[in-house]
Amino acid sequence: MFYREAGDFKTTYTDDNQTFPIKFDRYRYYAVLFFAFLIVPFVINDYWVNAVFMPFLIYAIAAIGLNILVGYCGQVSLGTGGFMAVGAYAVYKLMTGFPEVSIFIHILLAGGVTAMVGVAFGLPSLRIKGFYLAVATLAAQFFLVWLFNKVPWFYNYSASGQISAPERTVLGIAVTGPNTSAWATYLFCLVFVTICAIIARNLTRGTTGRKWMAIRDMDIAAEIIGVDPLKSKLSAFAVSSFFIGVSGALFFSVYLGAVEVGEAFGINKSFLVLFMIIIGGLGSIFGSFAGAAFLVLLPVLLKNVLVGMLGWPTDLAAHLEFMIVGALIIIFLIAEPHGLAQLWRVAKEKLRLWPFPH
Amino acid sequence: MKTKLITAAVAAMVAASPAVAELTFTSLSYRTGPYAANGIPFADGYADYFTLLNERDGGIGGEMVNLLECETGYNTEKGVECYESTKDQGTLVYQPLSTGITYQLIPKVTADGIAMHTMGYGRTSAKNGSVFSNVFNYPANYWDGASVAINHLVDLNGGDLKGKKVALIYHNSAYGKEPIRTLEELSAKHGYDLSLLAVDHPGQEQKSQWLQIRRERPDYVIMWGWGVMNQVAIQEAVNIRFPMENFIGVWWSGSENDVKPAGDAANGYKAVTFHNVGSDFPIFDDIQKYVVDAGKAAGAGDQVGSVLYNRGLYAAYLAHMAAEKAQEISGNANISQADMIKGMEALEITQPLMDKHGLAGFGPEFSVSCENHGGPGLGAVQQWDAGAGEWSLISGFEPSDGEVIDALIKEDSEAYAAENNITPGC
């Protein structure tokens, strides 16, 4: 009824090409932004930010990054954990090496460092594809974790091999270290998520994204119509690793504050982010958010229901949690192999035709 | 939309959790995951002791104990979630039983003004209370453990370790790396050769490390393992016929779970410990009567008297003693989180006190102060008797090498203070 293009007249090309051409979508988007920026920070507390929002936002950035590589460019990667570790260690070295520079810049630089590492590990993608590439990126995962464990320079020679984030401020407000307030860390992550999502969305709508998708759909055909596989594949690795690096940097500096590479950035992390985009929907920015929300929030929700409300033993709840999440993933993928984003797309299509479906 | 629904639902639940006016303790346990075999007995012992207090004494000083349990799975992210969800409910002291989670929580508890007790794990330099105001690691820490193990070897060799080869096989994590500095310093002092062998999480794959041990033939092997790594290491040692009496684990590598899978061949395996073993103490009669027979035992109730059960019990006992001390100092039965820290700083454990609570000779005597959060660092050596199926102490509680360790603690804690702009002081 109200969800349709009809009646929403566009008089310029810019208007015609905007991200959300439907008025309802646009308003919904503004409403979400308004809610996230101007309402949530006032009501949020430590539990909410540390258990729910921060992991959701940070994993959303990682999922966007991986989605660009896997969903848009078709290059399967299992190195996400390793690349997040690069971001985390890069930001740690920058924070401790140049304490006078803003943490905001450090996080972007950490993303840049990760982009370079990502390109280096993306080079094999020019020769190998599919499962073979997955194995090559798996090597990156193990190599990077081993490296950060082995070379003491990366953890500033601390006795335990842990890195911990010192206090850093943005505009005089602490965003890392122990004395942060919930709203500050939340907003700090939210700003990064918003910027990353907007950049990713626009990159994937433009020439770059079309090249990536051409490579994904059929690389030989893409090459014939003039897409340079070297440039597109490596740019996908660079952009994807940049986002993953930013998320790794935030994960360490703002969220956890202290990490140990094997535990925080192991192979499990790579799988977790990969599951997020598979459940959320490959090749969709919204899907990255939906997948991150599904895998971050569902366990917390189940824990609160089973232990907090029903008072079940914690071990039983933890085992059930695995079973329920696992079962839901399977059910979802059988019912909708293209993920949550596809459900969303179908819903929108139906809304457009409603109340006169054909 | 989905997100909002879920968050709304979670909000309702968090709001619904009841506010309590009792003494709240939180057990950050792990009954699932690769380290569950070791996490379960500890959590059971911890819970059973508080159940006993509630059933027998009506709580601590007339205040009932409310024990919250939160499953971490030995995972730092879940540990943070647990901490955030329980800190506002007035938890008096956190005992995370994970070095990784400890590192995460040190700055957080300090900022929130809550005590943390990392008994025999965590950050060793937290012994320096003037820097780590909220973190306690009495009665002994990792470096004490390393030193006690080396002292034991020195005793075995008539006071001289020169030219002996010692290998450390360790969990490749913050936990496993802790003793390396100490062992290196001690190697300079005693003149033994140290070789380091890292085992990656979770530790099921150790063939290459033991092949190296077989090739290098060290005289002694020290182990810093946890979870499934312990069992695998002991089995591998059996496979290469390494003499068990020359194989010493830290206290986290010395439970029944670790030695039983290797059967009789594990006979003679040693481990360092900071508390006594077995169930030959009067308190276990009370536990049987008030907890187990009443059907209130935590978990399956089959762990009573095992090494890690005793350790959980001891951890709860020390928390109980600190809470009593805090009640005594503040003159108030319903103590606050800040009172608890003062109670822990004034804690004094004596033999008569332990006698009174049915724990005669269970642990060493020690006292804590504001400067010294680690106690004297006494440790003993226990040995496994596979025939009888029990551990027994083969030495008394003896001090570690304070000269070496105190210098290391000073250095490490000062580095932490400088990094985090903390002005040391009491």
Domain carrying residue B320: 20-141+278-376
SS3 state at A139: helix
pLDDT 10s per residue in chain A (358 long)? 677 777 778 888 888 888 888 888 888 899 999 999 998 888 888 888 888 899 999 999 999 999 999 999 989 999 999 999 999 999 999 998 888 889 999 999 999 999 999 999 989 888 888 889 999 999 999 999 999 988 889 988 877 788 888 888 888 888 888 788 889 999 999 999 999 999 999 999 999 999 999 999 998 999 999 999 999 999 999 999 999 999 999 999 999 888 888 888 989 899 999 999 999 989 899 999 999 999 999 888 888 888 878 888 888 888 888 898 889 888 888 888 888 888 888 888 888 888 777 6
Residue B215 CA to residue B208 CA, distance in Å, equals: 10
Residues B241 and B355 in one domain: no
Instruction: Write down the pLDDT at residue A100.
Output: 87
Residues B216 and B349 in one domain: no
Chain A nearest CA to B147, separation (Å): 16
Identify whether B127 is part of a domain: yes
**Amino acid letter at B409?**
I
Domain with residue B179: its CATH number is 3.40.50.2300
Residues B161 and B120 in one domain: no
Cα-flanking dihedrals φ and ψ of residue B391, to 5°?
A: -90, 150
Identify whether B336 is part of a domain: yes
Domain count, chain B: 2
Instruction: Write down the pLDDT at residue A1.
Output: 60
Identify whether B33 is part of a domain: yes
Residues B266 and B391 in one domain: yes
Residue B235 has which token pair? 């089995």
* Consecutive 10-residue averages of pLDDT for chain B (426 residues): 46 43 86 87 92 90 89 88 88 89 88 90 88 89 90 89 91 87 90 91 88 92 91 92 92 90 90 89 90 87 88 92 91 89 90 90 88 88 90 89 87 85 82
Residues B124 and B193 in one domain: no
Domain boundary at B355, B376, B397, which?
A: B376
Residues B157 and B264 in one domain: yes
Is A98 within 8 Å of A90 (Cβ atoms)? no
SS3 state at B263: helix
The dihedral through the CA atoms of A213, A219, A223, A224 has a sign that is negative
- Exposure string of A221-260, with b = 16+ CB inside 10 Å and e = fewer, is ebeeeebebeebbbbbbbbbbbbbbbbbbbbbbbbbbbbb
Q: Which residues make beta-bridge pairs with B116?
A: B94, B135
Rounded alpha-carbon distances, angstroms, from residue B233 to A261, B96, B152, B259: 23, 25, 21, 10
Residues B125 and B195 in one domain: no
Identify whether B1 is part of a domain: no
Nearest-5° angle of CA B382, CA B388, CA B394?
20
Interchain proximity B84–A51, CB inside 8 Å: yes
| Mutant choice from A32, A144, A314 vs B, greatest count of B C-beta within 10 A | A314
Q: Which domains does chain A have, with CATH numbers?
A: 1-43 (no CATH), 44-353 (1.10.3470)
Residues B46 and B162 in one domain: no
Q: What is the dihedral of CA A347, A353, A355, A358, to 10 degrees?
A: -110
- Residue B103 is nearest to which of A47, A164, A167, comparing CB atoms? A164
Q: Examine the predicted complex and report whether its ipTM is higher than 0.95.
A: no
Say yes or no: A161 contacts chain B, CB-CB below 8 A: yes
Residues B96 and B160 in one domain: no
Interchain proximity A159–B412, CB inside 8 Å: yes
B106: which chain A residues are within 8 Å (Cβ-Cβ)? 258
- Residue B13 is nearest to which of A263, A308, A317, comparing CB atoms? A308
Instruction: Write down the pLDDT at residue B21.
Output: 55
